[in-house]
Structure 1
Amino acid sequence: MTSNIDAAAERLFQAISTNTPCDPVRDLIGENDIEAAYQVQERLIAARVEAGGVVVGRKIGATSKAVQDQLGVDQPDFGVLLADMEYTEDQIVPMSRLLQPKVEAEVAFVLGKDLAEGPLDIAQVRDAIDYAVAALEIVDSRIENWNISFGDTVADNASSGLYVLGTERRTLDEFEPVDVEMSMTIDGVEVSTGNGAACLGDPLNAVAWLAKYARDFGVPLRAGQVLLSGALGPMRPVEPGQVVTATISSLGSATATFSA
């Protein structure tokens, strides 16, 4: 199986390196072998770190029923955020770094404390979060035509692409993530709506799930890391030159402007 895991990682790394979509990797690792899929992801991230990448956080994927339905999966997954995946609102997001991007609106959290010991329950998660901001995740797939199974998306770093964070910071004393309402527009036209409850019942549930899963995998969450907690509503494809804004109650907005 190790040779298959290496081959799957190499297929995905070639897709990244050449900016060319590849065939699914489920022929090598199966559709639902979660352990094998995360081993492929680990190899991919290790290669990117070896090339100079810096791990700055995690993303949780497929947390909303709408996105699970869109992707044809039935459970969440997680991926790794690297420093070069973040763009600020005043930067142009280069389409040249993307293959078949879609956007989704999320609540992002920044940790003030490690989530490595203890029960990792909601109370501990709340205590560990420094602040939250509105976020846009630009999901992308190295698999041609988004033809993915659960194993494919996990192996492909949970279909991570890039992300943009808003600038209005709120502590959990100032708002409740479960209560937020979201509207996402592309070029001023509303294309997606949702709320905090759509994200595993509460974005904090998603963070607690991630904290336990990450610890089980031997890579616990650390202070200072950014956590993209998962979509609040359906994701939408984005085209060159478009401007996408996520407005999230209590958190303001996050805007991504894509290169023409």
Structure 2
Amino acid sequence: MNEISPGNDPGNDAVAQAAQRLLSASAHRIPCPPVRDLIGSDDVKAAYAVQELLTAHRLEAGGQVTGRKIGLTSPAVQRQLGVAQPDFGVLFADMSVPDGASVPVAELLQPKVEAEIAFVLGADLAEGPLDDAQVRDAVAQAVPALEIVDSRIADWDITFGDTVADNGSSALYVLGSSARPLTDFEPVEADMTLKRHGETVSTGNGAACLGDPLTALGWLARTARDVGDPLRAGQVVLSGALGPMVPAAAGDVFTADISGLGSVSVRFHAARPEGVSA
């Protein structure tokens, strides 16, 4: 595992140490203490600086960015984690899991599942007012999605700073097989039911995601442009949880149904199936 260097600025020591702590936890699959002792609980600049270091490290290792995830959009999830504002993380190609596939829990630390609406962009969101109309027009299609979140921080003992630094507590994502243009689907009107082994474990709706998943997308578009890395055509955006996240364990099968959009599922198993490489 390569070390993360603070560079030539001694002021970056805390950021580099936080990134290294999270990187080690991920590499060894052993949850670590929170990083707020290094960067604070609500220092937005420091938290995203850690995330950027980890993103750069992943890109240097050959990672390919496929989009972004928006987190902490649901009041239910905010209450679960004790935070009160959205955040974002980066999606990579190796985080994508096929619909209905099985995920080895041994490759995760303390996973949870949440159901979302994903947007596939058909146009850049880099210029112009980035208002509601432009954001809506930029969406090529909406897709049912599951996000498998997974904190590198022990016992999910996180503040806003901890989860932002940890790439929004991201791990994997699953896109469903169905897709709809926004002419045929209104995200704010969607109802979501998440089932585990056929039993309902989470419910919600589009209004639970910052009032409207498209509002969340607009927030991300403006935020991403402000930090100099705007959203681009072809990217996937996970718009945020529609209801409470649910812990996942080996043997679990989750299926999310989103009205007007379709369903998406994922399984979890204890060990990697024979013949399947890492």
TM bucket normalised to smaller? over 0.9
Partner of residue 44, structure 2: 34
Greater alpha carbon shift after TM alignment, 86-95 vs 145-154: 86-95
Deviation at 1:89, TM superposition (A): 1.7
Partner residue, 2:71: 61
Report how far residue 174 of structure 1 moved: 0.2
1:110-155 deviation per Cα after TM superposition (whole angstroms, max 9, x unaligned): 0000000111111001110000110000011000000101000000
- Deviation track 1:210-245 (CA, whole Å, cap 9, x = no partner) reads 001111111100000000000001111011111001
- 1:39-50, aligned counterparts within 5 Å? 39-50=49-60
Please tell me whether residue 138 in structure 1 is matched to residue 148 in structure 2: yes
Contact persistence 1:57–1:227 (CA under 8 A): yes
Give the corresponding residue for 1:94: 104
Instruction: State the distance in 2 between where 1:158 and 1:84 align.
Output: 16
| Equivalence for 1:249 | 259
AA matched with 1:60: I
Which runs of structure 2 are paired with 1:1-260 in the superposition (5 Å)? 1-260=11-270
Contact 2:113 2:149 in 1 (8 A): yes
8 A contact 1:87–1:162 mirrored in 2: yes
Question: Per the alignment, in what secondary structure is the counterpart of residue 57 of structure 2?
Answer: helix
Deviating 4+ runs (over 6 angstroms): none
Query: Structure 1 residue 175: deviation in Å?
Result: 1.0
Q: Bigger radius of gyration, 1 or 2? A: 2
Aligned residues: 260
| Partner-residue secondary structure (3-state), 2:32 | coil
Task: Give the Å deviation of 1:19.
Answer: 1.1
Determine the C-alpha separation between the residues in 1 that align with 2:249 and 2:269: 9
Kept after mapping to 1: 8 A contact 2:100/2:264: no
CA contact (8 A) 1:107 1:134 kept: yes
Q: Unmatched 5+ residue regions in structure 2?
A: 1-10, 271-278
Residues of 2 paired with 1:242 and 1:48: CA distance?
29
Deviation at 1:94, TM superposition (A): 1.8
Residues 171-216 of structure 1 deviation map (CA, whole Å, 9 limit, x = unaligned)? 0000100000000001111000000000000000000000011111
CA contact (8 A) 2:206 2:242 kept: yes
Distance 1:159 1:258 in 2: 18
Q: For 1:30-60, what per-residue CA distance to the aligned partner results, in whole angstroms no more than 9, with x for missing partners? A: 0000000000000011111111111000000
Deviation of 1:17 after TM superposition, in Å, equals 1.1
Deviation at 1:90, TM superposition (A): 3.9
Identity percentage of aligned residues: 65
Match of 2:4 in 1: none
Provide the alpha-carbon RMSD of the alignment: 0.7
Q: Which consecutive residues of structure 1, in runs of 5 or more, have no partner in the other structure?
A: none
Between the aligned partners of 2:12 and 2:240, the Cα distance in structure 1 is 31
